[in-house]
Amino acid sequence: MRIFYGSSHPKLGHAIAEYLNAKAGEMKTSKFSCGETYARVTETIRGHDCYIIQAIGQQPNDDYMELFLMMDALKRSSARSINIVLPYFGYSRQDKKSAPREPISARLIADLLQAVKLDRLITLDLHSDQIQGFFNVPVDHLTSIPLFYDYFKKKNFQNLAVVAPDTGRAKFAKKLSDKLNGELVIMHKTRPTHNVAEIVNVVGEVKGKTILLVDDMIDTAGSVTSGLNALRDLGCNEDIYLAATHAIFSGQAEERLNSSGFKEIVVTDSIPQKKNNIKNLTVLSTASLLGEVIKRNHENKSINDLIGD
């Protein structure tokens, strides 16, 4: 087995290799002055099972292009298998046609990955489960529930409500609320345009409750902050926590989160974090979760408890 990682999130790649007690594979990546990406394997990997950890971060197009070239380099170096670890599946929000003449960009990314001949995809908290069906190879769809449960159970919440910002996150919120002995609340939102969300209804009781708002990602923070205002209008406790797997933090995210009044914002390191000044931010490591699924795959062991079933 060989572990490779690109330039987008070397800290996470190193942590996963350390968890596996494995030396990182030797891969050179760089850019030409014109902006083209270059990748070359600098060791013999003939007949090896190769795992590439590539976080899709603030520059998704560059990150994907680097990944494609790394995959092609491994394929042409006679690797036995090429397994991709995408902690965050970039373009996952574009998983269907919401208007005429739109692309289904998530499907296109899946087609491109398969065109370069991946053997397995390992990913974390897809925006929608049906993206797994875009692939004709095994997809290990992990959940961050164990990470959030281990963190929040230490707080011994009383009178807790776990809130899903939309129906797409209801299944995740239900599992986490059951583990934390809380109640499930679901909000209904509409999107009049990109990166704009409006909460139109809240199903469940939040009055006087401690709130844990969960989402799969925070981009511009428009959804979570509008949801926060709706919950406050219904009389919830002032102790409001936010948990999200993928911290994109683009646009006005920093300003919105700092003025929102969340008691704590808990995210994972699935996306590399540039320097920010977000208050009360806690970042949980995904290295042990991703490292464990790589280990079990290589040893042909079950990963059922890691995918939340």
Digit-coded pLDDT (tens) for 69-104: 999 999 999 999 999 999 999 999 999 998 899 999
Q: What does the CA dihedral 294, 300, 304, 307 come to, rounded to 10 degrees?
A: 30
Going by pLDDT thresholds of 50, 70 and 90, the confidence category of residue 191 is low
Residues annotated catalytic, as ranges: 189
pLDDT of residue 277: 86
Residue 197 has pLDDT above 60, yes or no: no
Residue 9, pLDDT > 90, answer yes
Mean pLDDT for all residues in the chain:
91
Closest CA to 131 of 173, 171, 93: 93
Which residue in 254, 256, 215, 262 sits closest to 236, CA to CA?
262
Domains of the chain with bracketed CATH: 2-143+288-306 (3.40.50.2020), 145-284 (3.40.50.2020)
Contact at 8 Å (CB) between 268 and 245?
A: yes
The lowest-confidence range among 36-40, 77-81, 95-99, 120-124 is 95-99
pLDDT digits (tens, 9 = 90+) for 135-154: 999 999 999 999 999 999 99
pLDDT at 200 over 70: no
Task: Report yes or no on whether pTM surpasses 0.85.
Answer: yes
pLDDT at 199 over 80: no
pLDDT band at 274 (very low <50, low <70, confident <90, very high): confident
Provide mean pLDDT across the span 217-236.
86
pLDDT confidence of residue 231: 86
Q: What is the pLDDT of residue 222?
A: 85
Taking only the tens place, the pLDDT of each residue in 231-264 is 888 888 888 999 999 999 998 999 999 998 899 9
Sheet holding 264-268, edge to edge: 196-203, 183-193, 160-164, 210-218, 240-247, 264-268, 281-284
Residue 3 belongs to what H/E stretch?
strand 2-5
Q: Give the HSE-up count for residue 79: Cα atoms under 13 Å, Cβ half-sphere.
A: 25
**pLDDT for the residue numbered 193:** 62
Burial of 57-74, coded b for 16+ CB within 10 Å and e otherwise, reads: beebebbbbbbbbbbebb
Q: What is the pLDDT of residue 276?
A: 78
Please report the pLDDT score of residue 88 as a whole number: 96
Per-residue confidence (pLDDT) for residue 196, from 0 to 100: 55
- The residues facing 117 across adjacent strands are none
Q: Which residues of 221-235 are buried (b: 16+ CB within 10 A; e: fewer)?
A: bbbbbbbbebbeeee
